[in-house]
A and B are shown apart, each in its own frame.
Chain A
Amino acid sequence: MIYLDHNATTPLHPRVLDAMLPYLRERFGNPSSPYRLGREAYAAVNRARRRIAEFLGAMPDEIVFTSGGTEADNLALRGVTRALFKSGNHLVTSTIEHHAVLKTFGDLEALGHRVTYLPVDPHGIVDAAALRDSLAPETILVSVMLANNETGVIQPVDEIVAIARERGVLVHTDAVQAAGKLSLRLHALGVDLASFSAHKICGPKGVGALYVRRGTPLAPLFTGGSHEDGTRAGTENVAGIVGFAEALAVACEAQDEQIARLGRLRDTLEGEIRARLDDVIVNGGQAPRVANTSNISFKGVEGESIVLQLDLAGIFVSTGSACTTGDPEPSHVLLGMGVDPLAAKGAIRFSLGPTTTNEDVAFTAPRVVDAVRRLRALSSLGERL
């Protein structure tokens, strides 16, 4: 089995599992309980919070644990709009956000907010300059992702921050696909809110975090106990939180070496495929990208057919975001970049990870070529395009 869908999820790192197990077994206490068992769990959560804050260049009290990236996005967007509903109702985002952000904005629109969607250039980069024109006195929040999940293209969040800051507008970034792939110093970056997910960095599923810069107005989504300083009620996922911190530690320790290694493997994969097939486009290939992601359009074939043929060969890749597989419509990210709809239909995302080897790539490239050749031979769009 060759797994090349690390932007969907990742295998748990053995060190992460080891760190988690005691909190699923003997140290099962509730962090809110007043006795030793509870205090142990409380201490574990806080230690994890300190470690995560340190890795991300933030303060421990700025980390709010959530059930994952989707909840972090929802908490940021809904929490700010609710907290600032008196100051304004205009929000800004981009056309290539993850559905956890886009659909939340869609819902906020239905609730009466006005949302501006910033366009993206053909390389997949959000037009930061367009932000300046979109800002209005009633603008309260801008949300632009740090790295795109489908193309890996790195977004100009620093420019977004600079523009928004001048006007006193808050900035959220979905950093789910950036963690472990870029060095992150949140204070230096200057965003007010940032979303993270553990299972994209070899941590467990069901846990994530929202970074909330001190002083950022935020209403809770969940009410109940006073967990997470009242920002997120609900008993903490102790083992998950401990695993998240360990996963981030593992990712940060090996980060530079992994970035270099995965970048080489990604370039090899793209090079081998392009050398053997015509009419291949690397979407976002001209832009700065995180090292592990490659989004390739094979003209004349439909992506899902490639996914199935590779699946039958024991190779797991996807057509885009795992959350939308099975949706017959082409990727909103690729269409947003102006990729031709037929080319967008034939797009495959390869996302490499820490366990990806040279052999994996050497095995995969010729099988991709075979799949595309076979499907092109039976395509109604013809072999020549």
Chain B
Amino acid sequence: MDEETSASRSEEDPAQSQEGIDSFDPMSGPMLFYNDRVIDHFTNPRNVGDLSEGAAIGFGLVGDPRCGDQTKLWIEVSSGRIARVRFRSFGCPGAIATSSMLTVLAEGRTIEEARAITDDDVIEALGGIPARKKHCSLLGVQALRAAIDDHEKRSSAAREDPA
């Protein structure tokens, strides 16, 4: 996307990323204004799908009890790195976009690096989300950690029972 244009625009007038409606600060107030990067990940979510069963797989499912939104996430680990990651989400635009961005951040990382990814990292990578949508970014992050735990459990089970 046109990173340059938005950079020069924000230099001219940091308060005004675009005209009209976008001149509201998307981080504050009750409005659900999502920025272009969030919209992009909502409209074209990356790494959607699931991975089939296998020893190298880890699966995580996390739901938010308050809003009922849910994200499922699968990882495939190869030589200690996340080789592939897939997700599905029954969620609001915030949940879909943050889960999508999380998969982008996690792919290719070592298990330790992936476990260290926080909701704030995801939000920062998206250029921010509305304040009341902050909890949505936890779905993907927690699903990833659950998938890592699941993978570790499976691989230690496989070690104990190599048959």
**For A379, what are the chain B residues with a Cβ–Cβ distance below 8 Å?**
88-90
A1 to chain B, nearest CB (A): 13
Residue of B nearest to A300 (CB): B90
Q: Is the CB of A304 within 8 A of B90?
A: no
Q: Is the CB of B69 within 8 A of A302?
A: yes
Taken together as a complex, chains A and B put the C-alpha atoms of A341 and B90 apart, in Å, by 13
Q: Is the CB of B32 within 8 A of A341?
A: no
A305 at the interface (CB under 8 A from B): yes
Residue of A nearest to B45 (CB): A378
Task: Sort chain B's interface into a size bin.
Answer: 20 to 34
Taken together as a complex, chains A and B put the C-alpha atoms of A312 and B87 apart, in Å, by 23
Taken together as a complex, chains A and B put the C-alpha atoms of A325 and B87 apart, in Å, by 26
A247 to chain B, nearest CB (A): 26
- Map CB proximity to B onto A370-385 as digits: 1 under 8 Å, 0 otherwise: 0000000111110000
B66 at the interface (CB under 8 A from A): yes
* The residue from A305, A341, A342 contacting B96, defined by CB atoms under 8 A apart: A305
A304-B32, A304-B93, A305-B93 known; A380-B72 Cβ under 8 A: yes
Q: Is the CB of B42 within 8 A of A378?
A: no
**For B61, what are the chain A residues with a Cβ–Cβ distance below 8 Å?**
380
A12 at the interface (CB under 8 A from B): no
A378-B96, A380-B61 known; A329-B67 Cβ under 8 A: yes
A308 at the interface (CB under 8 A from B): yes
Taken together as a complex, chains A and B put the C-alpha atoms of A341 and B70 apart, in Å, by 13
Q: Is the CB of A380 within 8 A of B89?
A: yes
Q: Is the CB of B70 within 8 A of A329?
A: no
- Map CB proximity to A onto B54-87 as digits: 1 under 8 Å, 0 otherwise: 0000000100101111111000000000000001
- Map CB proximity to A onto B87-104 as digits: 1 under 8 Å, 0 otherwise: 111111101100000000
**For A308, what are the chain B residues with a Cβ–Cβ distance below 8 Å?**
34, 39, 42, 93
A302-B69, A326-B32, A378-B48 known; A312-B43 Cβ under 8 A: yes
Interface residues of B in 88-122 (CB under 8 A from A): 88-93, 95-96
A345 at the interface (CB under 8 A from B): yes
A328 at the interface (CB under 8 A from B): yes
Interface residues of A in 134-165 (CB under 8 A from B): none
How many chain A residues touch the partner (CB < 8 A)? 21
Q: Is the CB of B68 within 8 A of A341?
A: yes
A330 at the interface (CB under 8 A from B): yes
Taken together as a complex, chains A and B put the C-alpha atoms of A341 and B88 apart, in Å, by 20
Interface residues of B in 15-43 (CB under 8 A from A): 30-32, 34, 39, 42-43
Q: Is the CB of A380 within 8 A of B88?
A: yes
**For A342, what are the chain B residues with a Cβ–Cβ distance below 8 Å?**
68, 90
**For B95, what are the chain A residues with a Cβ–Cβ distance below 8 Å?**
302
**For B87, what are the chain A residues with a Cβ–Cβ distance below 8 Å?**
380
Q: Is the CB of A302 within 8 A of B92?
A: yes
A125 at the interface (CB under 8 A from B): no
Taken together as a complex, chains A and B put the C-alpha atoms of A271 and B88 apart, in Å, by 29
B9 at the interface (CB under 8 A from A): no
Taken together as a complex, chains A and B put the C-alpha atoms of A381 and B42 apart, in Å, by 17
Taken together as a complex, chains A and B put the C-alpha atoms of A300 and B130 apart, in Å, by 24
A301 at the interface (CB under 8 A from B): yes
Taken together as a complex, chains A and B put the C-alpha atoms of A35 and B160 apart, in Å, by 97
**For B45, what are the chain A residues with a Cβ–Cβ distance below 8 Å?**
378
B132 at the interface (CB under 8 A from A): yes
A332 to chain B, nearest CB (A): 14
* The residue from B42, B68, B93 contacting A330, defined by CB atoms under 8 A apart: B68
Q: Is the CB of A326 within 8 A of B70?
A: no
Taken together as a complex, chains A and B put the C-alpha atoms of A381 and B95 apart, in Å, by 14
Taken together as a complex, chains A and B put the C-alpha atoms of A378 and B93 apart, in Å, by 12
B20 to chain A, nearest CB (A): 14
Taken together as a complex, chains A and B put the C-alpha atoms of A372 and B115 apart, in Å, by 33
A151 to chain B, nearest CB (A): 20
Q: Is the CB of A305 within 8 A of B66?
A: no
Closest 7 CB pairs of A and B: A328-B67, A380-B88, A380-B72, A304-B92, A381-B90, A379-B90, A308-B93
A-B contact pairs, 7 of them (CB 8 A): A301-B90, A305-B96, A308-B34, A330-B68, A345-B69, A379-B90, A380-B89
